[in-house]
Structure 1
Amino acid sequence: MDYGCFTVEEIDLLEFTFSEDDKLLQTINLDVFAENTALSSENVSIEMAKNETEPPKKRFETTSNAEMEKLFEARQAPNTKRNTSWGSKIFQEWNLETNGCLMDMETVEPLVLANSLGRFYCEARPQPKKSQSHEYTEEPHLYHKNSLINIRAAINRHLADLRRDIDIVNDKEFKTSNGILDGLFKERTRQGLSKPTKHKAIIDEADLRKIYSYLQGAKTSPIILRQAVWYFLAVHFVSRGMEFHHQLQRNSFEFHEDESGKYATLKHDTLQKTFQGGLTSNDDQSTEKRMHATNDPSCCPVELLTLLIEKTDKNASFLFNQYFRDSAIDADKWFAAKPLSKRTFASFLGEICTAVGVQKKYTPHCLRATAITYLNDSGFEARHIMFMSNHKNESSLRYYNRSVSSNQKKSLSKTLSSMASASRSPTPRVQNENTALLPIPVLANVNMPPPIPQNIELTSNVVNTQEINPNAGFFNNSSFSNCTFNFTK
């Protein structure tokens, strides 16, 4: 180190001072390092203690036994549970009257249960009905065939609820009791005691026109607007008019537009009788269904749905709500944020029919039956109808396809009358499982056009049937376009 002009004594003094300062700095640095090391160790200890007190985050949820039992009970709809309770109660009432005690369904042996069921099917009777004079009627009172089958299914569900590995419908131990039930139905049919099944009525065309004319006043009345939206949603989504509408919310629909115009679709699935969303349920296709706009400005289903949403309080969660009784026609809001109860929808169609003077008593299910019947009579295939109705298989669909409209019944009667009077020859008709009744051409005893030489191909864009023998089978009153005919001997 160069100290310049300092003397030797001064240089020695400076070097001593600097060396002492370096030692002091080193000491300070060592103290700071030791303090930092202690702090780091302390932080690590605190962090480790913190991790030990806080449990690690779990990937899986914890479910209690009570919650699992609740989920097990949720596999059945409320109506199914009530039906199970009803059928089981009838069986236990029979046990109490016949055997003097209730049957322990949790421990009863299958063979004992099978013997009891065989007797129960024969002896089961409903409560006698009272006439208007409050006296019991003397006519034989028997359970309908469907009611007994329903009771058997209810008992079977009750056993499943008790975790019993017993199936009174399919197990071999119950083959005899089921045979007794089958024979009972056949014997009652022979004796004329079997009552026919009452199918849901099909709404007549004249009544449908009255209803549509009434709904055209929807834009001037909150009552009619609410009824109209309920009606068109029941028709276009082929619902029963109760459980479906009760689940609809104010934001349940999306509105789209294509080359054919505007249409509305559902944004979410809905629980229905034919779709419960369980393991055995097929994918619900409600969100694929469309309700298209029509050319009637006074009764367009899409416009009325939009108007109902606009006239409903923004705080409302559900689509159908109570209306303000003192609301003016030009008011911004017609409906409050108070949803309708589920049972209210059951009376909608009856109220509409009363307003238009329809005498017949129709239920909301009649509207569904009418929609399915109209689709069938219009020639739609079963798979297309099942897409709209949410049926799982075609056998369920035949329940509706058996229904016959008033016009069809009249036509059938006239045809049979012509047979009885031999007034005209019948027109062959063919019935397809998947389509409606469709007429087919009469090919017997027809006058075909002159034969064409073999291997000659006749090609024509349009064939004018007026130039052909008018009695020539399928050429009669027919026109063809872009067709190729091959005639061979």
Structure 2
Amino acid sequence: MEDENTADTMDFGLFSIGSFTDVYGPDLDEFGDDEFDSILANVTSSEITESALAEQITCAPTMPKEKEIIGVGNLNTDTRDAKEKTSGKSQGRFAAIDEADLDSIFLDGRPKSTLRTTHWGVKIFQQWLTHHEISSNFEALPKEQLASHLRHFYAELRTTEGKYYSKSSFVGIRSAIHRHLRSPPFERNINILQDIAFHSANNVFLGMLRKIKTLGLDNAQHHEPISQADLAKIRNSLSVDTPLQLQRKVWFDLTLGFGRRGNENQRDLTIHSFAVESDDVGMEF
């Protein structure tokens, strides 16, 4: 991983019926595997629509509520109380959150692709420090010393083949180091992008960007588009005869038409993420 940001991909063989509930909403979560299978069995290929599936759900046997299960009580409440007692967290309206929880909330909110890019950029800087027999633990260095290291690092930065990075990768490495320093557990109150202490280092950085532009490496390198022949083969292989085939077709249409970047956030989509509208001539879209 050096030069390009490769879009995430999803092989059709990785799909499972389990992710079907992600598309049709949380209502299906109330049923077990047997009930869910019976719902799908009663919906034919021509009836796989939102209304048909909703009708099958309505006709499905009602599962007992948690409080109606004899001898168990409220499962969610009991489980939560047990966890709170064992962890020492307070009960009631406000939860007791420690520093580790706060750090986890912050990090979990970042896309996995950003975390990977951050790790990649920081690792390159650490390799440069080790190459110069400097401790790779740079997070606690004073501003001036860190700025001096970055000044030389920007000028000497090359790929493993000894070539210059593209503009996007070069910028991404500096941004990765910046995010790393500002994130838990370090949370340094410094800004390597703008602080005056890093002015000289950033001048070198800008000079390297001009050099990269001169070499013609400032243009993004995109993947080749799908040929019309291959696109026709893909479309001819898709159908809506089964729920799994329908899911594959929906996934492909979303990825191709809306640029959802593979499987990065598709599991968060629900039926409420989309709306059907009509244009001026009554055509639905």
- TM-score (structure 2 length as normaliser): 0.56
- Between 1 and 2, higher relative CO (CA 8 Å, sep ≥ 6) is seen in 2
Rounded to whole Å, the distance in 2 between the matches of 1:288 and 1:226 is 15
Match of residue 147 from structure 2: 114
Amino acid of the structure 2 residue aligned with 1:147 = S
Amino acid of the structure 2 residue aligned with 1:149 = V
Residues 1:209 and 1:155: Cα distance change in structure 2 (over 3 Å): closer
Rounded to whole Å, the distance in 2 between the matches of 1:245 and 1:172 is 42
Contact 2:167 2:212 in 1 (8 A): no
Rounded to whole Å, the distance in 2 between the matches of 1:155 and 1:239 is 27
- The superposition leaves residues 147-181 of structure 1 with CA deviations (integer Å, 9 ceiling, x where unpaired) of 11111001001110211111111112212211111
Rounded to whole Å, the distance in 1 between the matches of 2:243 and 2:143 is 59
Match of residue 105 from structure 1: 138
Match of residue 180 from structure 1: 204
Contact 1:236 1:291 in 2 (8 A): no
Contact 1:84 1:154 in 2 (8 A): yes
Residues 1:209 and 1:235: Cα distance change in structure 2 (over 3 Å): closer
Match of residue 172 from structure 2: 150
Rounded to whole Å, the distance in 2 between the matches of 1:90 and 1:170 is 21
Alpha-carbon distance, 1:121 to partner? 0.9
Alpha-carbon distance, 1:77 to partner? 2.3
1:163-174 matches, cutoff 5 A: 163-174=187-198
Contact 2:143 2:197 in 1 (8 A): yes
1:356-371 matches, cutoff 5 A: none
1:121-140 matches, cutoff 5 A: 121-128=154-161
Match of residue 219 from structure 2: 196
Task: Point out where structure 1 has 5 or more consecutive residues left out of the alignment.
Answer: 1-56, 129-139, 254-266, 268-286, 293-301, 303-489
Corresponding position: 1:141 with 2:141:
no
Alpha-carbon distance, 1:235 to partner? 4.6
> By percentage of residues, which structure has more helix?
2
Rounded to whole Å, the distance in 1 between the matches of 2:189 and 2:208 is 27
Alpha-carbon distance, 1:220 to partner? 4.4
Contact 1:185 1:194 in 2 (8 A): no
Contact 2:118 2:180 in 1 (8 A): yes
Match of residue 407 from structure 1: none
Contact 2:122 2:180 in 1 (8 A): yes
Contact 2:240 2:249 in 1 (8 A): no
**Which of residues 60, 65, 70 in structure 1 aligns to 2:104?**
70
Residues 1:75 and 1:225: Cα distance change in structure 2 (over 3 Å): closer
Contact 1:160 1:166 in 2 (8 A): yes
1:396-407 matches, cutoff 5 A: none
Corresponding position: 1:92 with 2:116:
no
Contact 1:96 1:102 in 2 (8 A): yes
Rounded to whole Å, the distance in 1 between the matches of 2:231 and 2:100 is 54
Match of residue 242 from structure 1: 263
- The superposition leaves residues 440-479 of structure 1 with CA deviations (integer Å, 9 ceiling, x where unpaired) of xxxxxxxxxxxxxxxxxxxxxxxxxxxxxxxxxxxxxxxx
Match of residue 114 from structure 2: 80
Amino acid of the structure 2 residue aligned with 1:175 = H
Alpha-carbon distance, 1:212 to partner? 7.1
Amino acid of the structure 1 residue aligned with 2:219 = P
- TM-score (structure 1 length as normaliser): 0.34
Contact 2:151 2:204 in 1 (8 A): yes
Contact 2:121 2:176 in 1 (8 A): yes
Task: Point out where structure 2 has 5 or more consecutive residues left out of the alignment.
Answer: 1-90, 279-284
Alpha-carbon distance, 1:223 to partner? 6.5
Rounded to whole Å, the distance in 1 between the matches of 2:137 and 2:235 is 59
Residues 1:222 and 1:58: Cα distance change in structure 2 (over 3 Å): closer
Contact 2:127 2:136 in 1 (8 A): no
Say which is worse superposed, 180-189 or 167-176, in terms of deviation: 180-189
Rounded to whole Å, the distance in 2 between the matches of 1:81 and 1:213 is 34
Residues 1:83 and 1:209: Cα distance change in structure 2 (over 3 Å): closer
Task: Indicate the structure (1 or 2) with the bigger Cα radius of gyration.
Answer: 1
Alpha-carbon distance, 1:289 to partner? 4.1
RMSD: 3.3
Alpha-carbon distance, 1:94 to partner? 0.5
1:77-476 matches, cutoff 5 A: 77-98=111-132, 100-128=133-161, 141-161=163-183, 162-190=186-214, 192=215, 194=217, 196-203=219-226, 206-207=228-229, 210-211=232-233, 213-215=235-237, 218-220=239-241, 224-235=245-256, 237-248=258-269, 252-253=270-271, 267=272, 287=273, 289-290=275-276
Runs of 4+ aligned residues of structure 1 deviating over 4 Å after TM superposition are 200-204, 220-224, 235-238
Amino acid of the structure 2 residue aligned with 1:187 = K
Rounded to whole Å, the distance in 2 between the matches of 1:112 and 1:199 is 38
Rounded to whole Å, the distance in 2 between the matches of 1:146 and 1:65 is 34
Alpha-carbon distance, 1:60 to partner? 2.6
